[in-house]
Amino acid sequence: MGQSPDFTSINYDDVTFDAVDEATWRKQVEAETGMSVEDLAWKTMEQIDVKPLYTQADLAGLEHLGYYSGLPPFLRGPYETMYVTRPWTVRQYAGFSTAEESNAFYRRNLAAGQKGLSVAFDLATHRGYDSSHPRVVGDVGKAGVAIDSILDMKILFD
């Protein structure tokens, strides 16, 4: 293994880069990748186009850039500081067997510092079956908590 460079000794105020126009960048990308810039674009699973490079020109006409969070029309979110003043909640996706057993597990986790719950329901509950239905024999309480009634939910969150 080679030695890691010491970046603490670099004076970044002395580092300069020449401005490059888009045509120069495109030529270099095509030379290095053998692909056109258009071929390097891709789509997310939600079919959102992702370009290999975004520039100032991509910001033109984006209306939401003139708005602030916490103010109408709330395009940047409902809170002024958004989540800066709200710590992340630590949650474990969990649930197993009965509402009573899952409740005891949640209480232990909350006592140990967990800040929220993320309930894992069993397959029967996900599919809308009562635990006694013959179609879900063997699935009840296996990969999550079995919930059959409002009473089970009350017990789960008591």
Q: 98 lies in a domain?
A: yes
Q: Could you give the percent of the chain with pLDDT greater than 70?
A: 99
Q: Please state which of the ranges 13-17, 24-28, 46-50, 86-90 shows the lowest mean pLDDT.
A: 86-90
119-147 burial: b if 16+ Cβ within 10 Å, else e: bebbbbbeeebebeeeebeebbbeebbbb
Q: 27 lies in a domain?
A: no
How many CB atoms sit inside 10 A of residue 20's CB?
Answer: 9
Q: 131 lies in a domain?
A: yes
Q: What is the pLDDT of residues 114-140, one digit of tens each?
A: 888 899 999 999 999 999 999 998 889
- Better pLDDT: 122 or 77: 122
How many CB atoms sit inside 10 A of residue 104's CB?
Answer: 11
141: domain range?
A: 93-156
Q: 127 lies in a domain?
A: yes
Q: 64 lies in a domain?
A: no
Quick one: which of 77, 73, 72, 113 has its CA closest to 92?
Answer: 113
- Split into its structural domains, the chain has a count of 1
Residue 2 clears pLDDT 70, i.e. is over it:
no
Residue 87 clears pLDDT 90, i.e. is over it:
no
